[in-house]
Every structure is written in structure tokens, then in C-alpha cells.
Chain A
Amino acid sequence: MTALLARLAKPSVTNEPPTREELLRTEIAVIVAVLFALFLGIGIRNNAVNNQRTVRLGDGLPSIAVPAGWITGQPEGTLLYARSPRTRSLFNTELTVTTRELTGEATLATVRTGLALQRTQDLLRYRELEARSVTVNGQPGILVTYAYVADPTRDQGAIAPPVVVEAQDLLFTAGNSVVIVTVAADATLWDEESVYAGLIHRSLNVRQVQGGGE
């Protein structure tokens, strides 16, 4: 410790000031050290973004990955609800998993149509942006991207403006029911928040179907 402090206090045995070349060398060393630290930081970032925990949805249903820092719960009518507590928006990025029983002649396509109708009634300014056919764990599924206007602070009596939300519904069959996995985020942050949608979808082994756009 004493040697370290002595070295810290007097790194040179002479009192000579550094030459220009030595200063340049120091500067390069600082820049290299900063770049190296940031490179390590990117590794930490990737690990943190991909850090997840697996939640079992129930018997006969697949497990799903949830970003590690998200708050989870099971409100009435859902299999799972999870929310990012640190979203840079009044609207926290969220995941909702629900199911619909397949009764009578209902199919995945009819459930998807019914869900779209329900969304137009429940959500303000609902607008479907895209729908694609996908496979989920090898089974056929549909990925619907849409947008709407949410007012997340209204319930709390605040006066913040409403938020345009972009969301994706992933529908697929599991046993005798259709599972609906919804990821929603502030539309202005969709690009950066979509890493979480990617993480969730990867856990369900979602694959695009060639030419699957509707």
C-alpha cells in the first residue's frame, strides 16, 4: 500500500516534465483505454438487454421469456402481465399474454378478426399497420402490428399529453386455445424497445414465413 501510494504520488524518479511525444503517447493511451472500456460496456449492455427470466404460462402452454428487470403480475383475465419500470416515456413498455378458447368452428384467422374488431372498440384511434404469417414453435401464427393512442396519466389526474403507442399481437394456437402475446411501447421509442419484443419472440421460436404478409 505504501509503495502504491508512493508510486501514485511520484510516478517518476526525476522532476523532468514530459516531452510532447510522451504527452501524445499518454493521450493515445487514454483514448485506447476509453474505447476498451466502452467495448466492455457494449458487452454488458448486450447481456443486460438479453437478460431474461422464463415464466411458465400454464399446462399445455409454452414458457415465455420476460426481460429480467420487468415487473410482472397476473391481473384478472390475463395469463401474464409484465411492465418495464424504466421506459423513457409516460407509457411503460408492456407485455400482456391472454388466451381465447377455440370453440365451434373458430380458427386462428377468425380469432384474429374478432380481436381486431375488439381493438377498434377498446382502443382510441386504433390502426392496423401490418399483419404477417409466422410460425411459433413450428405451429402457424399471425403477427399483427398496430398503433393507437393511449392516455396513461389520465387515471392519475395528471395533465400530460396522450401517447401514440405501437404494439404487436402475436397469435398462435396451443392445444384448444389461441394464445395472444401483446407487446406495446411508445411509438417514438419502438425501435429501441423492440429489442424486448425480439427477446420475447425468440423465446417462442417465432419465425417469419416467406411471403407471409397479408
Chain B
Amino acid sequence: MQASITGGDELSRIERVAHNRSGLWVAIVITIIGLLVFTGIFNFVIPGLGDNLSGTPLILLGMVLSLVPAAIWLFFFYRLDRLDPEPKQMVVRIFLMGALVAAALRDPLINGVFDVRAWQYNTWWGHLFGGILIVGVIEQFLIYATVRYVIFEHPEFDERVDGVIYAVAAGLGLATVLNFQYVIRSNGVDLDIGSVRMVINALGYASFAGVMGYFIGQTRFEKTPIYYMPGGLALAAVLNGLFWFLIDRTIGGGLRPNPWGDLIFAAIVAALTLALAFWLIERANEETLRVAHQKIREAIGMTPAPVPATVAPAAVATGASAAALGQESPAAPAATTSDAPAPAQSDNDGAESGTESGPTATPKENAE
């Protein structure tokens, strides 16, 4: 009995982990459009806002503005993922922790210990490789550490996609801290061009964190090779370094700064990387479910129930598998109407065969 319930719990866990959220695709698109609209408002609708301000009021306005890209992102993600959203307080908690960790450690490490500003822009290779090996690695490690030590083992982290959602929240925390620092260092900013810069930060860090979050999600729910998570961090760091290298080089190469080009570039990068992350998650979810069902079929095949001559063993296995998943199957009626009890209907059978069936198995539309 216990084994059967455990098997059911296991299947329930796997289905939870492999849950696809179609709303997230829409959320990415709407969020990016929302961020572009945000910059459009400050550049075309109210371009003069802040012209008459200086000193502390301008800094305060800039700091409030710094929060807006993250707020837009989190709001749309929450609203559009409303069928099964993460708890608001957890997402906000990760965002704040990401910001605190970045504020406490990013600058002291990057500009204190490694003094990157003094040498990174001396050469193109120092710019690129310093941006990857030091800036990218430290920033992505801070995001990883935030998710790993704040939410990773929390019961709310129960789906593969949660890795992306929480890592993006931590990345936005980091981006917001950079925006704050930008405003304070510049003694307030032009709100039009400043808003573009803030959105570029948010898009950039959210997308690299999304890549990072994909690997965190996998590591949480899968047995991964030893290089898997370090490889994910390295990939995110490379994207991070490459992104800022390409954006900065439009200035460093002697060209005029082109904030609108940078903004479009950042929007495309964010859309592509997050779309890739979600696509990979969907593939991973499909694979997870396929393996789960294959395992059930194999387990049943190893301990075949007494089957009447009129029912083919394969049909019993398929029917039992579907029954274990709570699904209807063309073969299921044949099995259940037979003299032999189907594994899903018998606790003892489930216990003996070790199948992952049980009362907690839930229907799943996208199951096999």
C-alpha cells in the first residue's frame, strides 16, 4: 500500500516538475513590449519630464524610475502567469535578495578586488574576456547563489520552470541595483536616455539570468553530470560578457552612442534567450513524461499480471500505464474488464511491481 502511494506521489511529483506553462510565452512578449512602451513614454510622450529638476529631486525621480523596468517585468509575468503563478511574496523576496546581494558584493568584487574599470577598456580582448571571466562570472554567480540559497530547497520551487522565474527575479534585482548606482553616480539622469539605459539593463540581466535559471531548474529536479551546472553558469557568463561587449563597442569603436539600436538589440537578445530557455524546458518536460511512462510500461512488463488469452499483454501494459496516469486509453477497458485486476486498481499489484501508480496520480493533458 505504502509503495503504491509512494509511486503515485512520485508520478505526481514528476508531473508537477514537468508542468508546462503556456502563459509564459505570452508573458515574455508582453513584458518586452511593455518595457519598450515605457521608454517610448519618456522619450516621445513626456520627453521634458525632469528638465526643471536637479539635485536630490532628480536623483529621487531617477531612483523611482529605476524600479519601473523590474516592476513592469514582474507585474506582467505575474498577471499573465495567473493560472498558476509563483507566490508573489517569494518572487519579490528573491528580487530583493538579488538586489541586496548585488549591492553588497558586486562592486566590491568587480571594481574593488579586480579593479576592472581601470583596465577592462584598455584593449578589446581585455574588454571581452574581462567582461566574461570576471564581470560575467561574478554577476551570474551572485544570481546563482541568490536562487540556490534562498529558494532552491523551498517547497514552492516545485517546477522546472521555477528556476527561470526565480533567477529572472534575482537578475532584475541586480539590474535595479545597477540602475540605482547609475542614477546616483550621475547625480540624476536625463530621464529619456536614462530610461533606455535602465531598460537595456533589465532586459540584459533578465535574459542571462533566464539561461542560468534553466540550468538551476534542471539541477534541482534531475541527476545532472558534474559539468552541467558549471557549464550553465559559463554559458550565462559568456552571454553576459558578449552582450555588454557588443553594446559598449558601439561607443568604444568611435561610433556615436546609439541607445535605440542598443535597446532593439537587447530586446531581441532577451526574446531569443528566454524563448530558447522555455523551449528547452518544454522539451525537457516532454522527455521527463516520456521517461516516466516508459518506466511504468517497463515495470509492468517485468511483472505481468495473469492475462486472459483474449487480451494481449501489450494492451494490458498500455491500459495499465494510462490508468496509472489517470488517463483514458483504448486498451484500458479491455484490461479493466478482464478477470485480472489492473495494476492501478490494485494496491498489492502496485507494491509488487513497483509501478508508479496510485491514488494521487492526476490527469495530464499532455501526457502520452
Task: Give me the interface of A with B, judged by CB distance under 8 Å.
Answer: 5-6, 8-18, 22-23, 25-27, 29-30, 32-34, 37-38, 40-42, 44-45, 47-49, 51, 67-70, 85-88, 192-193, 195
Contact = CB atoms under 8 A, between A and B. Distances in A.
Contact of A10 (B116, B230, B287): B287
Interface string B227-255: 11110011001000000000000000000
B137 A12 contact: no
A48 B280 contact: no
Interface residues of B, number: 48
Dominant secondary structure of chain B at its interface with chain A = helix
A51 B230 contact: no
B45 interface: no
Interface string B136-165: 011001001000100000000000000000
B223 A45 contact: no
B130 A27 contact: no
Contacts of B225: 11
B20 to A, nearest CB: 13
B90 interface: no
A80 to B, nearest CB: 18
Interface stretch (B58-66, B191-199, B288-296, B303-311): B288-296
B337 interface: no
B230 A41 contact: no
Contacts of A49: 118-119, 122
B230 A33 contact: yes
A18 B119 contact: no
B133 interface: yes
B230 A40 contact: no
Contact of B119 (A5, A6, A32, A45): A45
A48 B133 contact: no
Nearest to B237: A37
Interface in B177-233: 218-230, 233
Interface of B: 14, 17, 111, 114-123, 125-126, 129-130, 133-134, 137-138, 141, 144, 148, 218-230, 233-234, 237, 280, 283-284, 287-288, 291-292, 295
A48 B120 contact: yes
A14 B10 CA distance: 12
B65 to A, nearest CB: 24
Specify which of A9, A87, A192, A195 lies most central, judged by the most chain B CB atoms within 10 Å of its CB. Answer: A9
Contact of A18 (B118, B219, B233, B287): B219
Given A11-B224, A18-B220, A47-B126, 7 more contacts: A9-B287, A18-B222, A29-B229, A30-B230, A32-B230, A70-B122, A88-B117
B283 to A, nearest CB: 4
A86 B121 contact: yes
A5 B223 contact: no
B122 A67 contact: yes
B137 A41 contact: yes
